[in-house]
Structure 1
Amino acid sequence: MKKYVTYIKAACLSTALMFGATACSDYLDKSEESDISATEPYKNFTNFQGFVELLYNNIPLFDKGYWTNSFNWGDDEVVSANINYHMVYKIDQGDFWGWQSEFDGWGTGWLDRSGFDAYAKDRFKKGLWPCAWWGIRQCNMGLANLDLLTDATSEQKNAIEGQLLFFRGWYHFMLMNYFGGMPYIDEVMNANGQLSRPRLSYHECAEKAASDFRRAADLLPIDWDKTSISVITNGNNQRRINKVMALAYLGKNYLWAASPLMNYSSTGSREYNREYAQKAADAFGELLNLVEKGATQYELVSYD
């Protein structure tokens, strides 16, 4: 193959010298992704799971920022003496744009990072803002092409769909933590079109996230190692999204929506929202019931 590329380059060089053209190298330089057909990522479980793996790769490290942590923005804790570049300090100074990479000269925050690369392995360089919007689109593309997954068992298809739904809900939920109600993107949007989705209230967003988490919990297995879909990865599935994790985030999503702060932003009431608090209790109750009857690989720490 290399010798043929050499021949092509030689021919291009000759042509360029003859006609004064210099664009041949641009023609030969192409990305690896251009060799893959539009349906290749979705044709079987192995390929589709590889497509999903990128969502795991784009989870930021929330406990790290620069050389010191920047994880708690809601308390009066001193992160470090004589530091004026962490977001918690910027908020105190009224610098509410400081989370954005272009206003964060030191690159200390994990909320936004410049130079986003979905394929990069360094999580320290992952920012929630770019990772979330990219991840949401990735989820929607996968869900839109789920029908192309014909070379798979029903258990495999359920695992793929469950992961995609979980991550779509999770990325939205994480953005909501810091920006409140957001446009909830649940379809593949035309990148060349006008992006004009309305901003939803926190409760409206929480309802949509809950729908994704609930559906994910119904589709995903409790323990991947005890299914027929993990022959290759058996013993290395501890961090794969499962039913228990989906139920946990379903409850957490409802609990946040029940809080006086989020209830006030959506309804004007500064009290706990009893409806969402009950839904949170139901989700956590379902989770704990599975744990206590020994149906999961998890257990609560005993009092002893």
Structure 2
Amino acid sequence: MKKQFAYIKAGLLSLGVIFAATSCSDYLDKSEESDISATEPFKDFTNFQGFVEPLYNNIPLFDKGYWTNSFNWGDDEVTSANINYHMVYKIDQGDFWGWQSEFDGWGTGWLDRKDFQPRERDRFKKGLWPCAWWGIRQCNMGLENLDLLTDATTEQRKAIEGQLLFFRGWFHFMLMQYFGGLPYIDEVMNANGQLTRPRLSYHECADKAAADLRRAADLLPIDWDKTSISVITNGNNQRRINKVMALAYLGKNYLWAASPLMNRESTGATTYNKEYAQKAADALGELLNLVETGQTQYELVDYANIADVFYSYGQNGRMPGSTEVIFRGPEWDPWQNTRYGL
């Protein structure tokens, strides 16, 4: 993990530069040459990738955000005979505000966190709601400063832009699943200004997310290890955002938009939306063609090794999934590499 996120040090330095540049200038006497430009985080690939890295750190653990968790809210399963503080129980009781941290005393949900810390490696402080809005702003800051990336190859520039577009589309899509259509934030907004963006329908929001994910898929490589941009992290790029991940979420985004639930919210019709279903088939078909023609690092696990797909016991915390896993966030401690906490 340390190798995989080798750019994080540069990211923290870059963010520190931004904060320093906007802090009180007369706090300490300093020489002019000690000032560092606020454009420093964006000047070359290493610095800019360091700015991007914290986005990975803000992918919540939907299945292991607490010692125990509930992530399947659409089923009639029994979580436990004695657990009455998980969100799945609160929904059964009609407590639909229970996802918010101020109404969740135990902090057991993954949807919100009152003590959210974007740069800490702590799964207990990663809620989707704060992570998403912080991440969307980070993406917009990066995209609006992309022209400052002058010391970079074309391949490096595409990788930076592709990651930012993916995360902006992904964070919006993840929020849409639980809150429906939202204002789609595609610019750095003034925190002191009026928030007057209209709430979009689900389909309108899905179209904007799709545009970001499609563009990301066109920019990103399939395998970072086979590019010239991964010298530092070669061999440790399994979780870096790539073309396959962007296509997968592009298809999923369209598939959800095609559902009767989302179609009804947007058009009033209670049937599947054939137009969005076709778009989902096209995106996922493009992905499957890449996999089946051997152009990716992903494939179905042979039956002889099928145990590798599942959580295990006594395997030194081996991560499940093998070559079938396309997208996953970081793991922050050994307990979460195993079946504990599920």
Q: TM-score, normalised by structure 1?
A: 0.87
Matched residue, 1:299:
299
Matched residue, 1:68:
68
Matched residue, 1:114:
114
In structure 1, distance between residues paired with 2:263 and 2:287: 25
Please, which runs of 5 or more residues in structure 1 have no aligned partner?
Answer: 1-25, 29-33
In structure 2, distance between residues paired with 1:38 and 1:98: 40
In structure 1, distance between residues paired with 2:280 and 2:267: 18
**1:98–1:104 contact (8 Å) kept in structure 2:** yes
Q: Which amino acid aligns with 1:105?
A: G
Render the CA deviation track for 1:107-146: whole Å, top value 9, x for unaligned: 1111000122111111232000000000000000000000
Offset of residue 35 of structure 1: 7.1
In structure 2, distance between residues paired with 1:36 and 1:225: 33
Equivalent runs, 1:77-96 vs 2, <5 Å: 77-96=77-96
**1:58–1:123 contact (8 Å) kept in structure 2:** no
Q: Kindly tell me: are residues 144 and 156 of structure 1, through their superposed partners in 2, closer, same or farther at Cα, counting changes over 3 Å?
A: same
In structure 2, distance between residues paired with 1:107 and 1:81: 19
Matched residue, 2:239:
239
Q: Which amino acid aligns with 1:211?
A: A
In structure 2, distance between residues paired with 1:79 and 1:236: 36
Matched residue, 1:224:
224
Report the secondary structure of 2:250's partner residue. Answer: helix
In structure 2, distance between residues paired with 1:65 and 1:56: 15
**1:86–1:108 contact (8 Å) kept in structure 2:** yes
Matched residue, 2:248:
248
Render the CA deviation track for 1:232-262: whole Å, top value 9, x for unaligned: 1100001100000100000000000001111
In structure 1, distance between residues paired with 2:112 and 2:47: 30
Matched residue, 1:124:
124
Q: Decide which structure has greater helix share.
A: 1
In structure 2, distance between residues paired with 1:276 and 1:183: 20
**2:86–2:108 contact (8 Å) kept in structure 1:** yes
Offset of residue 187 of structure 1: 0.7
In structure 2, distance between residues paired with 1:107 and 1:120: 17
Offset of residue 100 of structure 1: 0.5
Offset of residue 301 of structure 1: 4.2
Matched residue, 2:206:
206
Matched residue, 1:164:
164
Offset of residue 79 of structure 1: 1.0
Q: TM-score, normalised by structure 2?
A: 0.78
Larger radius of gyration: 1
Using CA pairs under 8 Å that are at least 6 residues apart, name the structure with larger relative contact order, 1 or 2: 2
Equivalent runs, 1:238-277 vs 2, <5 Å: 238-277=238-277
**1:264–1:271 contact (8 Å) kept in structure 2:** yes
Matched residue, 2:98:
98
Please, which runs of 5 or more residues in structure 2 have no aligned partner?
Answer: 1-25, 29-33, 305-342
Q: Percent identity?
A: 88
Q: Which amino acid aligns with 1:149?
A: L
Offset of residue 302 of structure 1: 5.8
Q: Which amino acid aligns with 2:68?
A: T
Equivalent runs, 1:23-34 vs 2, <5 Å: 27=27
Offset of residue 27 of structure 1: 4.1
In structure 1, distance between residues paired with 2:241 and 2:231: 17
In structure 2, distance between residues paired with 1:52 and 1:149: 13
**1:260–1:272 contact (8 Å) kept in structure 2:** yes
Q: Which amino acid aligns with 1:300?
A: L
In structure 1, distance between residues paired with 2:88 and 2:210: 30
In structure 2, distance between residues paired with 1:302 and 1:261: 36
Matched residue, 1:52:
52
Q: Aligned-pair RMSD on alpha carbons?
A: 1.6
Report the secondary structure of 1:170's partner residue. Answer: helix
Offset of residue 65 of structure 1: 4.0
Offset of residue 37 of structure 1: 3.2
**1:61–1:123 contact (8 Å) kept in structure 2:** yes
Render the CA deviation track for 1:268-299: whole Å, top value 9, x for unaligned: 11100000000000001101111111111112
**1:61–1:124 contact (8 Å) kept in structure 2:** no
- Stretch moving more, 218-227 or 82-91: 82-91
